[in-house]
């Protein structure tokens, strides 16, 4: 269902705006989590996985553009790592979007929820072990490919997968967050175009419009927020929220009972 401004419910729209604002504030501070938070919400409301991922990436195309310009202006981008991430990331994103757009949504949802649960646990682990020792990362291109594919297939994951793994390898936190955020613009743009070619404008919903507005409002304030809240605390909080929400959705959907009952 496409956006119809005459049928938007103010209360529901405001809720999506607030979620978009909060998710972008976290993403701006950590270089991750906008996609996984937004996608978890949409899936919990019954939005099909492909439509949820398409909507989230349409929003991120705008928010990552604002964030990327800010990081470039503050010289937070390592351009060598940028190109090594961006190119395989775009390839992985196209493959992930195409696969998710052409499979049965009912089959995809439990696997996406499991994936999001694992991302939540991953964030908890990264937060507990944060920060790593400072070293030059060696594994970059495979991270870009895997991060792009899972980001499209799961509606989020580029930041948690790529940022956290680069940090574990010892990359500079400031350069890592800036580089990953800037590369994400090209990833989200490519994924959005792929989804639109497969799904059409039906993927653009009231939820998408609300998330977009909230994300745009928050995008310029991410760097300011990052200076006042410890990244480790944010990582732990995001990990808790994603893990609990995704597990709740898995249990309420009855998937675990069908598999193990």
DSSP string of 88-141, one letter each residue: HHHHHHHHHHHHHHTS-HHHHHHHHHHHHHHHHHHHHHHHHH-S---------H
Percent of the chain predicted with pLDDT > 70: 80
C-beta separation of 185 from 61 below 8 A: yes
Say which residue, 50 or 176, is predicted with more confidence. 176
Neighbours of 108 (CB within 10 A): 19
pTM, two decimals, is: 0.70
pLDDT exceeds cutoff 70 at 121: yes
> pLDDT class for 4, splitting at 50, 70, 90?
very low
Mean pLDDT of 108-118: 77
- Cis before 131 (ω within 30): yes
The dihedral built from the CA positions of residue 17, 24, 223 and 185, taken in this order, carries a sign that is: negative
Q: What is the pLDDT of residue 82?
A: 95
Supply the mean pLDDT for the chain: 77
Q: What is the pLDDT of residue 80?
A: 92
Mean pLDDT of 66-79: 83
Q: What is the pLDDT of residue 2?
A: 42
d(CA 205, CA 75): 35
Q: What Rg value do the Cα atoms of the chain yield, rounded?
A: 17
């Amino acid at each position: 269902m496409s956006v119809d401004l005459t049928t938007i419910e103010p209360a529901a729209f405001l809720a999506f705006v607030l979620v978009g604002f909060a998710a972008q504030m976290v993403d701006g501070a950590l270089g991750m989590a906008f996609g996984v938070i937004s996608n978890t919400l949409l899936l919990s409301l019954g939005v099909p996985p492909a439509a949820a991922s398409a909507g989230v990436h349409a929003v991120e195309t705008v928010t990552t553009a604002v964030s990327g310009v800010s990081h470039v202006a503050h010289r937070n981008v390592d351009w060598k790592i940028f190109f090594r991430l961006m190119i395989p990331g775009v390839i992985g994103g196209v493959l992930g979007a195409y696969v998710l757009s052409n499979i049965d949504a009912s089959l995809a949802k439990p696997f996406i929820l499991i994936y999001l649960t694992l991302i939540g646990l991953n964030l908890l682990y990264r937060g507990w072990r944060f920060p790593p020792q400072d070293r030059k990362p060696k594994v970059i291109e495979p991270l870009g490919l895997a991060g792009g594919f899972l980001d499209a297939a799961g509606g989020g994951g580029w930041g948690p997968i790529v940022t956290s793994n680069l940090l574990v390898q010892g990359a500079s936190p400031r350069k890592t967050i800036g580089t990953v955020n800037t590369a994400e613009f090209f990833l989200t743009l490519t994924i959005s175009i792929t989804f639109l070619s497969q799904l059409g404008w039906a993927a653009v919903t009231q939820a998408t419009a609300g998330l977009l507005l909230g994300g745009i409002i928050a995008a310029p304030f991410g760097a300011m927020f990052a200076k006042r809240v410890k990244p480790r605390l944010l990582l732990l909080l995001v990990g808790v929220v994603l893990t609990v929400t995704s597990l709740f959705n898995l249990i309420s959907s009855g998937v675990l009972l069908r598999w193990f009952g």
